[in-house]
Amino acid sequence: MLHLKLEDRLRAAVSEVIADANSEVVQVRPCPDPKFGDYQTTSLMTLAKQRKMNPRQFASEVLQRLDVSEWCESVEIAGAGFLNFRVKNAAVAAELESALKGGTLFFQRTTTPRTIVIDFSSPNVAKPMHVGHIRSTLLGDSLGRLLRLLGHRVITDNHIGDWGTQFGMLIVGWKRDLDRKALEADPVAEMDRLYKKIYAACETDLAVREQARQELVKLQRGDETNRAIWREMIALSQAQFDAIYRRLGVKFDHTIGESFYNPQLQATVDQLRARGIARESEGALAVFFEHVPALKEQPALIQKSDGGFNYTTTDLATLEYRLATWKPDDIVYVTDGRQQLHFQQLFAVLRQWHPEAKVNLAHVWFGSILGEDGKPFKTRTGENVKLADLLDEAEERAFAVVTEKSPELPEAQRREIARAVGISAVKYADLLPNRQSDYVFSWEKMLAMDGNTAVYLLYAYARIRSIFRKGSIDENSLRTAAIRLEASHEIALGKHLLKFGLVLEAAKDDYRPNFICNYLYDLASIFAGFFENCPVLKSEAKVRESRSALCLLTGSVLKQGLEVLGIKPLEQM
């Protein structure tokens, strides 16, 4: 990795200037503006500031001791004291050649793997999975793929909402109003109907509310009838979730629902009380955070005045179970932004409860999906959009796109391609925006052939594959190809390929797969420029070989990048 080689030399030079400097902080990153160079470091300024040195003076002292002439044409001090590196084409070519020989694709697997639990998707029993759950599902899945690719031990856990007060109401509804036929036809819709009906009744009718409370108590005490109903609701819901996961190609290592932790809740609360971490407040039990400024006014309730437990209690028991079972270095929770306070409280309780725990806890949150009117994304009749319907529509619309582009293919094949394209388009559209901003859902945008879309990237990949078919190029023979970077489009492509690993690292550090989307889009665009300006198959042997190898590497990086996003590229479209 070229940037690592530069980084090593730079660290050595820094140590020569300041013997005890923590050279770990010295990093080489892509230069934001290629006008000034290919790589850049801003770390020297940070170091200089810490030591109260003049940053430009420090940079020039480091520069005097820095020898990177085997890879760089020039290194220049710029601005307040950063260094810009311009690399030699030969150095870029050497990196490309080593990747061809079977090295990794411009990224490095970590030598210090972490054990990382990812809690994502986590839909609720008896409720349709909605578009909010799709963001958690896709983001979590992509982060899992990314972390695994970089060499970490990833444990994914689907924390299904299969416990809680809603089951009191659901059981009342089930006993009074269940329509078996409707349940067979669409179980989740029927359960949703029951829930809404009883929920409304509870608002106005005290007797119904009391009934729901009693059914809940019976369920919690293990009443056989209520347990059986509850189990059936879980099984029916899980079947629906599984159908969606199958379509999305998402798998979990574990699916441990909230109910699993039920037996631990009392003990969890007792412990927190005994340790003086939780205390009574207006009949309920809560943890106060006097020492955490942001949470001063926001105690976390862990037991209600009627003795019932809540979401936080379950999450505390879950946290303890995960720490004991998997001994993770990190736990990552992927949910929407409205749960920020909940996770701040949860993390703050853990720090009091297990101050020795070294685990790093991260809440990776995301914004909402909006309709084109800028309001929360709903159907025309104002209902929540169901995930299954959304995926159906994506496939249908993709079929129209594929038919327009390749009318000559037989319908069965176009259908198959459309299935992949439709799902990929939804995934990509969801991963592309900065996760913390709300985004507007638009079919036209996500299925556009020439924007930053899955469709565009999939076609770019398929086009590369078709070059190989057309030219009957033997990919194996390219392993030892000599890369020649002469035309500006070749140089730009080669330099961009090298940055793949840096982008993967940045996406990992910030839990932001959108960095990968943007990188791949740039790659496909740069490749399009190269392909237009640099004939591949019609060139003389040496050039043809070098350019074919550039096509091969571009295809491999595209494929790897798409796979991290959970998108499987097609060989032919």
- The number of helices, as runs of H, and strands, as runs of E, in the chain is 21, 13
CB of 428 to ligand ARG, least distance (A): 23
Residue of 259, 190, 181 whose CA lies nearest to 227:
259
Q: Does 333 bind ligand ARG (CB under 6 A)?
A: yes
- Retrieve residue 176's tokens: 């009074």
Is the Cβ of residue 115 or residue 406 nearer to ligand ARG in the bound state? 115
Q: Which helix (H) or strand (E) holds 157?
A: strand 153-157
Per-residue contact flags (x/-) with ligand ARG for residues 102 to 141, judged by CB under 6 A: -----------------x--xxx-----------------
CB of 535 to ligand ARG, least distance (A): 53
CB of 299 to ligand ARG, least distance (A): 18
Is the Cβ of residue 42 or residue 115 nearer to ligand ARG in the bound state? 115
Is the Cβ of residue 140 or residue 569 nearer to ligand ARG in the bound state? 140
Question: Distance between CA 561 and CA 503 in Å, rounded?
Answer: 10
Q: Does 158 bind ligand ARG (CB under 6 A)?
A: no
CB of 508 to ligand ARG, least distance (A): 21
Q: Does 159 bind ligand ARG (CB under 6 A)?
A: yes
CB of 139 to ligand ARG, least distance (A): 12
Is the Cβ of residue 346 or residue 431 nearer to ligand ARG in the bound state? 346
Is the Cβ of residue 124 or residue 156 nearer to ligand ARG in the bound state? 124
Q: Total residues contacting ligand ARG (rule CB under 6 A)?
A: 10
Question: Distance between CA 507 and CA 509 in Å, rounded?
Answer: 6
CB of 48 to ligand ARG, least distance (A): 43
Q: Does 264 bind ligand ARG (CB under 6 A)?
A: no
* DSSP state string for 44-87: HHHHHHHTT--HHHHHHHHHHT---TTTEEEEEEETTTEEEEEE
Is the Cβ of residue 93 or residue 317 nearer to ligand ARG in the bound state? 317
- Retrieve residue 293's tokens: 């400024």
Residue of 165, 327, 172 whose CA lies nearest to 258:
165
List of residues 6+ apart from 99 with CB closer than 8 A: 105, 106, 497, 553
Among 137, 156, 335, 556, binds ligand ARG (CB under 6 A): 335
Question: Distance between CA 457 and CA 464 in Å, rounded?
Answer: 11
Residue of 445, 434, 432, 426 whose CA lies nearest to 367:
434
Q: Which of residues 347-406 bind ligand ARG (CB under 6 A)?
A: none
Question: Distance between CA 205 and CA 209 in Å, rounded?
Answer: 7
Residues 171 and 178: beta-carbon distance below 8 Å: no
Is the Cβ of residue 166 or residue 424 nearer to ligand ARG in the bound state? 166
Q: Which of residues 282-321 bind ligand ARG (CB under 6 A)?
A: 315, 318
Residue of 161, 164, 153, 163 whose CA lies nearest to 118:
153
| Distances in whole angstroms, Cα of residue 179 to Cα of each of 43, 184, 201, 232 | 66, 9, 18, 14
Among 128, 144, 161, 187, binds ligand ARG (CB under 6 A): 161
CB of 132 to ligand ARG, least distance (A): 7
CB of 159 to ligand ARG, least distance (A): 4
CB of 123 to ligand ARG, least distance (A): 6
Q: Does 38 bind ligand ARG (CB under 6 A)?
A: no
Residue of 128, 212, 117 whose CA lies nearest to 172:
212
Residue of 98, 126, 138 whose CA lies nearest to 5:
98
Residue given tokens 């689907």 in the structure block:
158
CB of 10 to ligand ARG, least distance (A): 42
Is the Cβ of residue 160 or residue 219 nearer to ligand ARG in the bound state? 160
DSSP label at 105?
A: S
Question: Distance between CA 509 and CA 511 in Å, rounded?
Answer: 6
Is the Cβ of residue 137 or residue 318 nearer to ligand ARG in the bound state? 318
Is the Cβ of residue 201 or residue 316 nearer to ligand ARG in the bound state? 316
Is the Cβ of residue 211 or residue 335 nearer to ligand ARG in the bound state? 335
Q: How many residues does the chain have?
A: 573
Q: Does 255 bind ligand ARG (CB under 6 A)?
A: no
CB of 257 to ligand ARG, least distance (A): 9
List contacts with ligand ARG (CB under 6 A): 119, 122-124, 159, 161, 315, 318, 333, 335
